[in-house]
Amino acid sequence: MSKREAKTALYEQFARVGKGLSSPKRLELLDLLSQGERSVESLATEAGLGVSSASMHLQALKESGLVATRRTGTTIRYRLKGEDVAALFVMLRNVATSNLAEAERATDIYLGQHDTETGEVVAREKLLKSVRAGEVVVLDVRPKLEFDAGHVPGALSVPLSQLSEFISTIKKDLDIVVYCRGAYCVLAYDAVKVFSKKGLRARRLQDGMLEWRLAGLPVERDVA
């Protein structure tokens, strides 16, 4: 094999990763998997896909070296191959919004639909300090299975669908901070609106669980 052939072969392998990232639905699946391991059925439901279509996209991600699998009984569960994949996903988003005017506009439109009453945003390090001092109540409004896979220390699992019921049981003077999956997850935006409609105030964590984890901040997991 010549030097040129060897170099071409090398870059073909690099391109396999790019091919895996070249579908919007596969990127959405990576976003979901950044929250923890999931079954094909769970991923399909969350991403608005049929099971067969989700399986095809997941197989493409596996062939690209981005996800791995394990079998539990008759169920195949998918996970990111490593934290470097999560970091690559975040970098891809950042490059897109920094260099594509269309991506920036799409972000403004999507988040702008939810950003009418979002209130104050709390920095990650500030929240961690407040948690350790016992000064704040932190609510994780993601689905419970994502909470179990990893959450901010001391956070309570209150999925968005259960938030109104939870609010009816709490003291009105609590300092509340809510968070969800990441910078492009709107569950926390919607949670702040629920508090606002009840005449209460809640703040939103900067970004979300993905960025918290990639920043190297402590994560608790439900070992059960």
Tens of pLDDT, residues 158-216:
999 999 999 999 988 899 999 999 999 999 999 999 999 999 999 999 999 999 999 99
* Domain formed by 3-87, architecture: Orthogonal Bundle (1.10)
> Which residues, at least 6 apart from 30, have a Cβ–Cβ distance to it below 8 Å?
21, 61, 66, 67, 80, 85, 86, 89
Is the pLDDT at 124 greater than 60, yes or no?
yes
The three-state (H, E, C) secondary structure of 123-190, written as one string: CHHHHHHHHHCCCCEEEECCCHHHHHHCECCCCEECCHHHHHHHHCCCCCCCCEEEECCCCCCCHHHH
Assign 223 a pLDDT band (cuts: 50, 70, 90): low
Distance CA 169, CA 4 (A): 68
Query: Where do the domains of the chain lie?
Result: 3-87, 112-214
Active site residues: 180
Starting at the earlier edge strand, list the strands of the sheet with 75-80.
Answer: 38-39, 75-80, 67-72
- Cα separation, 133 vs 111, whole angstroms: 32
Distance CA 160, CA 140 (A): 9
Domain 112-214 has CATH 3.40.250.10: yes
- In percent, how much of the chain has pLDDT > 90? 87
**pLDDT 10s digits, 30-73:** 999 999 999 999 999 999 999 999 999 999 999 999 999 999 88
Instruction: Using the structure block, give the residue that is written with the tokens 């690559």.
Output: 88
| CA dist., res. 27 & res. 86, Å (int) | 11
Q: What is the pTM of this model?
A: 0.91
